[in-house]
Amino acid sequence: MGFSEDPELQPFLLGLFLSMYLVTLLGNLLIILAVTSDSHLHTPMYFFLCSLSLADMGFISTTVSKMVVDILTHSTAMSYAGCLTQMSLFLLFGCMDDLLLTVMAYDRFVAICHPLHYQVIMNPCHCNILVSLSFMASLLDALVHSLVVLQIMCFKDLDISSFFCDPSLLLILTCSDTLSSDIVIYLVGIIYGLLPMSGILFSYYKIVSSILRVPSPGGRYKAFSTCGSHLTVVCLFYGTGLGVYFSSTFSGSAGEGALASLVYTMVTPMLNPFIYSLRNRDIKRAMHTLLKKTVSF
């Protein structure tokens, strides 16, 4: 159904969404270029950050690019195959965000709680395995949802009260027995939602316990500062995600649900590069060096 059917709002929405999309792509691309161009940033933490930036770029491209085309063409129609593809990519990149944030929490846990073993535990091979497992698990999540939706044979000329093929909205359109689908979705939600969140909370419990045992205030501040950006992104990601869930559960307004989804799918990926760049001296220094090299050419 799109974000709004008001024709007077279409030029404003087009400019707003297109500018947010371009800012997100540029911000995440700058982080990737800054990290890859600076050898001092070739560490596990920044390797995971680059992976998160790639996932954010895919996440926002899945929804916003189609919405921009819809506004330009004045048509929000989508084929069944196109809707299924968008839903699968949305789940793939969204789950990648979730799992990579968990991996980054584990990286901070090892760095602070086991600093002497950090280089051995977080070696390049181990880091590649963690990112590969995150991708495979995300792919499995998208596949499970797709198989559930493929069993629903009633999709024809239906309206979805959102600006993209939201999985939660697709699953309630079924006209068959939903018990088996609900069981699968709840299990997937526990595995990909509750377990990663529990892992992050446990990691930060151990991190805080370890930091509080540091005798000097300067050492405690330095340890906390390495986790500040990641913790901010985690709060933003899960906060907006829970906001979408509760708005769709307790609110009868399609507009409120679409607005919550907008924050979750667009604002969060756009703010991530700013959070990491503004709170991280190494990233700011690498970006400054990169821009100087670019201008000199």
Domain boundaries, the chain: 7-296
| Per-residue model confidence (pLDDT) at position 12 | 85
For residue 290, the model assigns a pLDDT of 77
User: In tens digits, what is the pLDDT along the chain, a chain of 297 residues?
Assistant: 766 677 777 888 888 889 989 999 998 998 898 888 888 888 998 899 999 999 999 999 998 888 888 888 888 788 888 888 888 999 999 899 989 999 999 999 998 888 889 999 999 999 999 999 999 999 998 898 888 777 765 666 677 777 788 777 777 666 555 666 667 777 777 887 788 888 999 998 988 888 888 777 776 777 677 777 788 888 888 877 766 665 555 554 555 556 667 777 888 888 888 887 766 777 778 777 877 777 766
Q: What is the pLDDT of residue 211?
A: 83
* Tokens linked to 126: 């181990």
Return contacts of 115-122, CB within 8 angstroms, 24+ apart.
122/44
Mutual orientation of helices 268-278 and 281-296 as an angle, nearest 10°?
Answer: 90
- Cα distances from 152 to residues 44, 140, 181, 287, in angstroms, run 42, 19, 10, 48
**Stated pTM of the model:** 0.87
Measured distance CA(18)–CA(14) in Å, rounded? 6
**What DSSP string describes 85-154?**
HHHHHHHHHHHHHHHHHHHHHHHHHHHHHSGGGHHHHT-HHHHHHHHHHHHHHHHHHHHHHHHHHHT---
What is the spatial distance between Cα 140 and Cα 296, in angstroms, rounded to a whole number? 46
Question: Is residue 220 within 8 Å of 211, Cβ to Cβ?
Answer: yes
Nearest residue to 268 (alpha-carbon basis) of 289, 244, 296, 288: 244
Contact 240, 145 (CB under 8 A): no
CA–CA separation, 151 and 180 (whole Å): 11
pLDDT in the model for residue 37: 87
Domain 7-296 CATH (choose: 3.40.50.720, 1.20.1070.10, 3.90.1300.10, 3.10.129.10): 1.20.1070.10
DSSP state of 116: G
**HSE-CB for 254 with a 13 A CA cutoff:** 13
pLDDT confidence of residue 243 = 64
Say which residues have a Cβ less than 8 Å from residue 46's Cβ, sequence separation at least 6. Answer: 35, 282
pLDDT digits (tens, 9 = 90+) for 48-86: 999 999 999 999 999 888 888 888 888 878 888 888 888
C-alpha 187/C-alpha 193 separation (Å) is 10
The sign of the dihedral angle between the CA atoms of 20, 22, 28, 31 is negative
Question: Which pLDDT value is given to residue 248?
Answer: 53
